[in-house]
A and B are shown apart, each in its own frame.
Chain A
């Protein structure tokens, strides 16, 4: 998709002014974190599991080539094919080729962030193939031609009334008298519509929460069961996954499953957890005739061993979004690309360029909540700072903040000069602010005083001057 990340400030301002979005986001922020807390409380070994999950991912990343080749060998043994794709374009080409060979007119889709990353829907549409999203949230945003606003809850920015309006507009057969007031009614309506699509589809395209090197299986985690109909009914199953999704064994996969749903939604397990291995075997009652795994790099091998190496541990649970006060304020669309929240702010600059995504690493208070809740302990704040360093080194930081910073640093390195300037500035502000104790506005402080007063300094001078003037006299 086209990025609007460069317009982050405008995107954020728009989001902050959107009352419906405010309402939706407050529900999200109240729901998921509380449920995660409860799930943790029910599992005393949760912290140990986080360590174990992190260690599995670290081990995989240190031996990625080995496990990917092992995975491929098992997929081939099971009768499937692996397509290695360096770029988004290569992955799109590979998927389109498989669809064309299958003579596909309709492709049903399970939810896939990699699908979003490579913009596969647009590509299929351009070539006359209809992609149909089958995850309820994805289906809704596909009807509305919107990108997902959350990596696990793509339509979280919408109210049920907005969804009802969308269905009335797009489902032409819908009788005007039919009530769509309850979420259940919305679900039934989507199901009615999707059932025909499931049966008629030629290809099923899903993502994968994990790839298992030991067995060549892929793991699908959903709450709706839509991925199961997506992969099992059509003749061809295509899996699109990025390469860091591989884990060594089934045992490792279960460890990660134990932290995944708990971190994401507070569930112990998602409703459906499916392991798919190869195409239908002789004697199987159902399953696809062909099984393809499209393995995407798209910049990930560049991250290996570098400053953003640990980002490749990410299992896409969404906990960092759910707990982020910035995400809670502006929602996912403001980030301007496929991903959002803290994981997006780290990942997006690497995928679309720091010039384009420069705001994202800065639009954070580095409050540390994301790292605190990350099931695989990714040091997200450290990585946001690293992007800031790169910006500074490349001189991408604005000249106003660069010179402000230089001025401050120049003073801070010279205590005598700092004292001189500080004493004058503090004395002036203290006199100006004496009557009210604070300022409603002040030159050069518009960013601060737009929404809040600025407390005036105390009278009598800086602490250092007053302390030493009072003869405490033990300063070095």
Chain B
């Protein structure tokens, strides 16, 4: 089966390890993975700001670049949710594009649910030494129905203990441009999120969306916490030798390029 990897702009720009981990997970499960060079962003910043013409123009590019694959997979519930749920409505006035958007939407998955629900991955090789807590990002949870899948996959990781935070389903306050437009409200929300995570005693925070992770890691660091923050794909792929999010690389150690 062919899979087009929509890597997402945040992973592309700030955390390539997540992209390589995603490629590894998909290939290990037998997928033929392609990474179209023409990809940039899913258009969500424009869409959520009410700029539908630009969102539509970007969506058209994504549809063209990805419609040749059996599946499209993104290591983000937010970007996958954009393609799955919002692309079709963007083209309500254009039946030809609408049908192409709907076809693509039906083949688009968030990475973790794709691994668990479609590929039925059951024997991960990964190991991780630590106690992790998992944050359910809003789009993964409420748009893409991702809840049990990450827990089932993490249970296969040797050496890892998973501990639940009571408020794991509560928004972290990222919200795309929301966090810079209303920094005080967003700051209050991420503070509550950080309190909830710290109270679990976990040493690692995992999630499936880099936006939330950057937000939470940023606040954890500002508050002096040592909790390690990683995208779940890094742990599932066993690619945790590089520094956690927002931590410096050890001196003299270059990031290993995998894939």
Segment of A229-237, A246-254, A434-442 engaged in the interface with chain B: A434-442
Whether B39 lies near A405 (C-beta < 8 A) is no
| Least Cβ–Cβ distance between B38 and chain A, in angstroms | 5
Given known contacts A412-B58, A462-B13, A388 and B50 CB-to-CB distance under 8 angstroms: yes
- Residues in B186-215 with C-beta less than 8 Å from chain A: 186-192, 214-215
Whether A392 lies near B184 (C-beta < 8 A) is no
Q: How many residues on chain A are close to B (CB under 8 Å)?
A: 75
| Least Cβ–Cβ distance between B5 and chain A, in angstroms | 9
Whether A413 lies near B35 (C-beta < 8 A) is no
Given known contacts A363-B182, A368-B142, A436-B248, A464 and B187 CB-to-CB distance under 8 angstroms: no
Whether A437 lies near B175 (C-beta < 8 A) is no
| Least Cβ–Cβ distance between B220 and chain A, in angstroms | 8
What is the total of A-B residue contacts with beta carbons within 8 Å?
Answer: 242
| Least Cβ–Cβ distance between B210 and chain A, in angstroms | 9
Whether A448 lies near B180 (C-beta < 8 A) is yes
A368 to B49, CA, bound (A): 16
Residues in A whose Cβ lies below 8 Å from that of B46: 405, 408-409, 412
Q: Mark B206-250, 1 if CB is under 8 A from A, else 0.
A: 000000001101110110000000000000000000110111110
- Any chain B CB within 8 A of the CB of A393? yes
Segment of B15-23, B95-103, B116-124, B156-164 engaged in the interface with chain A: B15-23
- Any chain B CB within 8 A of the CB of A86? no
Whether B39 lies near A415 (C-beta < 8 A) is yes
Residues in B whose Cβ lies below 8 Å from that of A9: 182
Residues in B whose Cβ lies below 8 Å from that of A413: 40, 54, 57-58, 61
Segment of A55-63, A291-299, A453-461 engaged in the interface with chain B: A453-461
- Any chain B CB within 8 A of the CB of A24? no
Closest to B47 in A: A385
Given known contacts A364-B178, A447-B183, A392 and B34 CB-to-CB distance under 8 angstroms: no
Whether A472 lies near B35 (C-beta < 8 A) is yes
Segment of A43-51, A282-290, A323-331 engaged in the interface with chain B: A323-331
- Residues in A412-458 with C-beta less than 8 Å from chain B: 412-413, 415, 418-419, 422, 425-426, 434-438, 440, 445-458
Task: A397-B49, A438-B218, A447-B180 are known; give 13 further A-B pairs, CB within 8 A.
Answer: A16-B185, A330-B185, A366-B178, A385-B47, A405-B45, A409-B43, A415-B61, A455-B15, A460-B255, A464-B37, A466-B257, A474-B34, A476-B68
Residues of B at the A interface (CB closer than 8 Å) are 7, 9, 11-20, 23, 33-41, 43, 45-52, 54, 57-58, 61, 65, 68, 138-139, 142-143, 169-171, 173-192, 214-215, 217-219, 221-222, 242-243, 245-249, 254-255, 257, 259
